[in-house]
A and B are shown apart, each in its own frame.
Chain A
Amino acid sequence: MAKAKITFTDIDQTVNVPAGTRVIEVSEKIGAGLIYGCREGDCGTCMMHVEEGWNNLTEPSVLEEKVLRENMASRHDRLACQAQILGDCRVKPA
């Protein structure tokens, strides 16, 4: 199975994950500073900033884009409960 590395820069930890894993699944276990609310792409609580590897996450859905807009997301912000890891990336809490 394809693997990818995700680094949580706030805690300086890197995890090697199967491609397709959602960021939320990793960040909770590793103790990154992201906080979660609804876990289904609605509340916007888990917004994260992608420092590197923006294109290595799955494309945001129309709903995720709406929630990001409502939460005044800046460029390269994503919801950790929605984004799936396809290749190497570096993220931190937004």
Chain B
Amino acid sequence: MMPLRAEPAARAIAKPGEAVEIAPGVHWIGALDPTLRTFDIILRTANGTTYNAYMVRGTDGVAVIDTVKAEFADDFFARIESVARYDEIRIIVLNHLEPDHTGALPELMRRAPQAKLYISTRATAMLKALLKPKEDKAPLAFETVGTGDEVSLGDRTLRFLHTPFLHWPDTQCTYLVEEGVLFSGDVFGCHYCDTRLLNDRCGDFRFAFDYYYAHIMRPFKTHVMDALKLIEPLPLKIIAPTHGPILRDRPRRYITRYRELSTSSFTDQIGNEERSLIIFYMSAYGSTARMAEAICAGAEEQSGLRVSLYDLEGGETQPFVDLIESADALALGSPTINGDAVKPVWDLLSSLAVIDLKGKLGASFGSYGWTGEAVRMIEDRMRGLKMRVPVAGLRVKLIPTDEELEECRAFGRAIAGAISSGEKGRVIDFAELG
């Protein structure tokens, strides 16, 4: 399909060369990228994206908050020039240093050399890596800021919130106190390009909002919850993220949605005291399936452990990823075919980067005909994903006998035992972590 041209819609709010006022003295000066179909390799963008940057005017000068991707610098500078002179810019705030927001920074610094940069306390090394300042030149004029730090524009105050890992270590949010505007960086953003720009004017972007969260913020849920504690008490009129619509109509809905998306629904069902083991398998002739059932039976003997058993062949990968996110442990069974685990197993294992796997327990098992490499390969991958693999994998040659099925039950009991050994308060020996 030919991508759409950047044709202004009849109700366009964002027009070429014009900044858009979103609050008194606060302008959107970003850029539209409607033809983009893949962002950062990992994200599909069905109608492109926007690179949102903002300008705040106070009695004591102008602040620019974030910039745009390098290819869109001309749009950005044209919008700045429609509302300000470069010599008025005193402050440049960088909420996030990824190149889609800092591409126009070197040129902005050249045009507004008097401006001082404000970055988060964790962004210094990244800024230097980005700008590669030469030792014989003047040092970069920047200041690092943390939660509660403020910078004044005369009658306007920018207050900073330290929100690391949303979604890089350097990320922060900036709050314009007098207008209740939160410049949130990538938080509450989405890849959705619409010239109508405002959430109450543009098309239905709910899917894009959830999709962005699922791929960008989800691995950092704990940090999202920490950030929400800082954001929720703020009086808010507008949330102004760096991608997608500006959230001026009932902005608090989006904060509520982030809280929902960051809260595990599974713990509501099984209770915080219960632990969860998910067993997945693929089976060509039923042998690995029989192993899985016996492992399940063995693990179920452990009280306080909820065990679930799934045939990978019978489901899509995505819901299985959701199950694993809420689980304490994952056991994966695969036969060996041509010296490898089977493709659905690798599909599942390669889909786990979007969830936090740290500390989860992994185990592997499988029946094989003559070589049997799959089990060790799965264990290696689990270790690569930072999972603990405390119980050595279990292999059975061809059809399991009654004795071998008893070994499978013992394997299940050993996994269950390792799960419960991670309970709080107990001192764990390093060797047990596997």
Contacts and interface: CB of A to CB of B under 8 A. Distances in A.
Contacts of B360: 31
Contacts, number: 69
Contact of A31 (B124, B169, B358, B427): B358
B122 A44 contact: yes
Nearest to A15: B428
A72 B18 CA distance: 39
A26 B359 contact: no
Interface in B400-434: 422, 424-430, 433-434
Contact of A16 (B220, B422, B428): B428
B122 A26 contact: no
**A interface residue count range (under 10 / 10 to 19 / 20 to 34 / 35 or more):** 20 to 34
A53 interface: no
Contacts of B426: 14
Contact of B121 (A14, A32, A71): A71
A26 B386 contact: no
Given A15-B428, A17-B430, A71 B122 contact: yes
Contacts of A26: 430, 433
A30 B39 CA distance: 33
Contacts of A18: 430
A28 B222 CA distance: 16
Nearest to B126: A43
8 contacts: A5-B427, A12-B424, A15-B427, A29-B386, A29-B388, A31-B360, A43-B125, A67-B125
Interface of B: 121-122, 124-125, 128, 144, 146, 165, 169, 220, 222, 358-360, 386, 388, 422, 424-430, 433-434
Interface of A: 5, 11-18, 21, 26, 28-33, 35, 37, 42-45, 67, 70-72
